[in-house]
Structure 1
C-alpha cells in the first residue's frame, strides 16, 4: 500500500484538470462530447491527469450509474498513463462507501472525498471521521481529502479536525480549496509538520500563483479544462522559479477566474465553465442540470471579455 501511495503522490504533482460533463438539451449525459472533452484536455502538454466527478462535473446531481460511467469513459479516452482521480460526494456515508468502491472498480486511480453539503449546517468532528472511515474501509486505492472554501462555513475543516484526518495513512493528499490565502498557508504548514510526504495541491483558481509561491505540489482545477495551456504555463514557470513569466500567466488567468468563480453567485461556476467551452467552440450544448439556469447575457459578456484577455478567443 505504501508503494502505491508513493506512486500516486508522485503522479499528483503538476496540473490536473477538473472536467465538466457535457449534457444534451434533455439533460442526459452526452457521452460522445464527454469523450472528446477528456481527449482534448489530456492531449495538452503539461496536463498530467484528470479530476472527474468533482464539483465542476456536477457530482451532486449525477446518479450512481452516471458517476461510474464518467470514470469508465475517462479511463477509455484518456492516455493510459493519465492519472484519474474521481470525486466521491454523497450525503449518506453508506452510499458514499458504495459509490467509492464502484468508482475504484470502474478504473479510478484514486478517490477524493468531498464533505457532504449538509455539513455546511454544522457537524460533529466524530461524524466527519466516521464518514471518511466508511469510504476508507470500502476501498483499496489511495484517498484524498478536500479542504472546502472558508466561505462554506462548517464544511471547512478546523485545524484539530484536519489533524485527525491527515493522521490516517490511507489519505495521501489534499485538494486545498480554502480559497483564502491565510487559511491555505495555515493548513499547508500544519500538514507538512505532521506528514512531510503528504501532497498539498493549491487549488483555489483565483490565487494559484500565491499558492505556488507559498508552496504547492500542483493543482486540481476546473480552470484547466477551459484554458489548459495557460494553467500549465503558470505551473511550469512557477516550478522553475521563473516568477516573471508566472506573473504574466497569472495576469492573463485572473480576469477569467474572477468571471467564473468570484462574481456572485458562486454556485454558477459550472454553468460558466460550460459557457466558456461553448464560446470557444469546444461544446455544442452548454446545458447544466436544473436548478441551474443557462448563462445570462451579462455572464456571457463577462466570460467573453475574460477569454479575450486570456488570449483564448
Structure 2
C-alpha cells in the first residue's frame, strides 16, 4: 500500500489509473544530463491537472544509453521535484539479467513506487521463452516493489510476447500491470482479453500513442505515454472524454492529437521518437537544448517542419 496525500492509502494498481507521462531527459550540448532542466521538466509535467504519475527511465528517457548511476539520479530528482502523491514508475532495461536485477534494486532504493521491466533489445533477434521468464524472475527477486510488464510493438517481431508466453508472465502474482505497447489494435485487444480472462484485476494500460482512443474504446485503465510530456492537457482531455463515454468529444481531441502522434512515432525513419519529442519541447520553449545521445542524429529540417505543423493543430 502507498500513502497518497498523507491521509489515505491506495494500492499501486489503483494509482495507475488515468494518465501517466513518460518523460525525457534533457541533455547539455556535450550529452551530459542537465539536472536543473530535468527537474523543471519533471515538475512541469507532473503538476498538470490530471497527470497522475510519471514513467521515468523509459524509452523516451533514453534508458538504453544511460548508466545505472544516471538512472538512479533520474528517480531521485523525480521523487524530489514532483508532488508527494505523484506515482513514480521507473523502467528497468538491460541486456544482462544480472545487471537488470542490480538496476531494479538500486531504483527501488532511489524511491521508485514501481518498476516496468523492458525486454532487452537483443530479444528482437531471437530468444527462448525460458530466457524471458528467467529475466523477469531475476528482477522480481531483487526488489519488493510492484512490477509491470511491457508488451512490445508487433513491429519488433519476436520481442513482442506471444499469447502463451504472455500467459506465463501474467501468472506471476508479483506482476500487476502491463504497459501495452503492441501499437496494433488487433494485438492490443487480443492481449487485453487474454489478460483480463486470466486475472481480471490486472491493470492494462493502453499505451500506443497513435491509437489511444481505440484502446480506450476496447478497454483500458489508463496510459503511460510520452505524448503526455509534450501535450499533457490534451492527453488528459482524451482520457476524461473516454471515461465519460463522450466519444464525440474524444474524437475531437483525437483529431488534434493524431497528426502529432504520427509525426513523432509513425513517420519514417523509425526509432526517432525521443529526438522528435525533444524537438517539440524546444519548439514550445520548454527546452533550450534538444540534444539526444549518439548514435541518434539531430532532428532534420523536414522532421522539424512536420512537428511544427502538427503542434499548430494541437493548438500549441
Out of 211, 214, 227, the residue aligned to residue 210 of structure 1 is 214
**2:95 matches 1:85:** no
Distance 1:104 1:2 in 2: 14
CA drift of 1:265 comes to 1.5
Report the 3-state secondary structure (helix = DSSP H, G, I; strand = E; otherwise coil) of the residue aligned with 1:55. coil
1:231 aligns to what?
A: 235
1:198 aligns to what?
A: 202
Out of 221, 229, 244, the residue aligned to residue 225 of structure 2 is 221
2:276 aligns to what?
A: 272
User: Matches of residues 118-133 of structure 1 in structure 2 within 5 Å?
Assistant: 118-133=122-137
2:46 aligns to what?
A: 42
CA drift of 1:2 comes to 12
Distance 1:2 1:64 in 2: 25
Question: Across the two proteins, how many residue pairs are aligned to each other?
Answer: 311
CA drift of 1:266 comes to 1.8
**2:182 matches 1:178:** yes
Runs of 4+ in 1 over 4 A off after TM superposition: none
1:166 aligns to what?
A: 170
2:59 aligns to what?
A: 55
CA deviations over 1:17-55 (Å, ceiling 9, x no partner): 000000000100000000000110011101000000000
Q: TM-score with structure 1 length normalisation?
A: 0.98
**2:11 matches 1:7:** yes
CA deviations over 1:109-159 (Å, ceiling 9, x no partner): 000000000000010000000000000000001000000000001100000
1:310 aligns to what?
A: 314
Out of 1, 25, 30, the residue aligned to residue 26 of structure 1 is 30
Indicate if the aligned counterparts of 2:2 and 2:12 stay in contact, CA closer than 8 A.
no
Q: TM-score with structure 2 length normalisation?
A: 0.97
Distance 2:210 2:247 in 1: 17
CA drift of 1:15 comes to 0.2
**2:262 matches 1:258:** yes
CA drift of 1:182 comes to 0.2
Distance 1:216 1:298 in 2: 34
